[in-house]
Copies of this chain bind each other. A is one copy, B any other.
Amino acid sequence: MFRITHKDKRARSAILSTKSGSIQTPFFMPVATKGSVKYISSDDLKSMKNTAVISNAFVLYLRPGDSFMKKVGGIKKFMHYHGINATDSGGFQMYKDTFLIKTTHDGVHFKSPFDGTKHFVTPEKDMEVQMNIGSDIAMCLDSMPLVEHSKKRISEAVEQTTEWAKRCKIHHDKLNSDKSGKLKPSNRRQLLFGISQGGTYPDLRKKSCQQLSKIDFDGFSAGGLALGEPKQKLLQMLRIHKGIMPEDKPCYLMGLGSPIELLEAIELGADMFDSRFPTQNARRGTIFTSQGKLRLMRKEYEYDQMPLDPNCDCMVCKRYTRAFIRYQLSQQEGTGYRLATYHQLYYLTRLMEQSREAIKKKQFTRFKNKIIKAYEKADAENEKKLKDNNLKGKKKRKSISLGNKRSKK
């Protein structure tokens, strides 16, 4: 069940009910591919009031195996996780040459990157895998073409995705029906989302959405995006997706994780997000803050006694300095990864909370603009510093090459 509680133009806040409880939208899901968010325990997630994570059915199917997951009581018990667990079908992984052997009408042939064993997954099998894993929200098996593929290939993938979506829905309904053959109520079974494809071609995206919208999914994801295409293209595809998919179903924009893009997507009515970039960025020293992106690894922060974000009240910002976290990251220390990741996810959790609040107050656009302004300001300052440093560097090199020692004074 998906109940919209507040609207502010196209942006909305809603309550999504699952078998593990209800969750307010919009929300961001950190990636727990293998049942853990890297360097973060489920207690950490609880302490930052995180409400959902997304795992990867395909990776878990290979190791430790979906029958393993069933045996140990499902992923939430396995992870000791309090929130909502979604699983991606693995369509995204097929995108990688390390996995994919070939896609046929029946399903996907792929090899395990762990041990080279060959596997064949049909839409039906994928539904069974996700049921065994026991996630609260499952994704259809989609066929995701490479961005550089021809329009023809992308068009074929759209058709394939629709075909598989139908098969997923039929099989998933079977798996989620009671003895009399009746589909269980949505808060007592796994939810199933369809995924639109079509790359960044408006006509193909439209076609994909039109075909999928006819199937009674619990929600609709926009897939194959946030892969490096221009932001305007991404938002254009989201507009098409939103324009066709039923308004009373959740809209999950897959792969989005940068604060500004999240806000722009929320403004267009997207409800759910996931991305591995925020945590990966954190480990590399790009930190989201109330004052925009902090490039922590820059020399200027070497001795900095400030917290990552002076306006953040997370356990990391309350206790540790930029200098400490910068040093730990530079030394590839796990503790540094943990602290930077914790802050990053705390920040995004608060950003989603504030977005919901702003929607309730019908002030979302103002809120979004305030955040964007901070990020743009920080980016401009960063760029200016870079330029100045480059100029300094050039001057220095020039004076050295001229044998002029003034620069050393």
Within 8 Å CB of A68, what residues of B?
Answer: 302-303, 323
Closest CB-CB distance, A254 to chain B, in whole Å? 23
| A334 with B80: CB separation less than 8 A | no
* Interface 0/1 of A31-56, CB less than 8 Å to B: 00011111111110000000000000
Q: For this complex, into which size category does the number of interface residues on chain A fall?
A: 35 or more
Q: How far is the CB of A37 from chain B (nearest CB, A)?
A: 7
Which positions 332-352 of chain A face chain B at CB distance < 8 Å?
333-339
* Inter-subunit contact A38/B335 (CB<8 Å): yes
Of the candidates B63, B71, B324, the one whose C-beta lies within 8 Å of that of A331 is B63
Is there contact, CB below 8 Å, between A71 and B36?
A: no
Q: Report whether A36 and B323 are in contact in the complex, using a CB–CB cutoff of 8 Å.
A: no
Whether the Cβ atoms of A336 and B36 lie closer than 8 Å is yes
A178 to B27, CA, bound (A): 59
Interface residues of A in 314-366 (CB under 8 A from B): 315, 319-321, 323-324, 327-328, 330-331, 333-339
> CB of A116 within 8 A of chain B?
no
Q: B35, B37, B305, B333: which contacts A72 (Cβ < 8 A)?
A: B305
Partner of A35, one of B63, B71, B328, B334: B328
Task: Assess the B72–A334 pair: CB atoms within 8 A.
Answer: no
Please measure, in the bound complex, the distance between the C-alpha atom of A333 and the C-alpha atom of B40, giving whole angstroms.
10
Listed A/B pairs (30) with beta-carbon separation below 8 Å: A34-B327, A34-B331, A35-B328, A36-B333, A36-B335, A36-B336, A37-B335, A38-B334, A39-B39, A39-B334, A39-B338, A40-B335, A41-B338, A41-B339, A63-B330, A63-B331, A64-B323, A68-B302, A68-B323, A71-B303, A72-B303, A72-B305, A72-B321, A72-B323, A73-B305, A78-B321, A78-B323, A80-B320, A334-B334, A334-B338
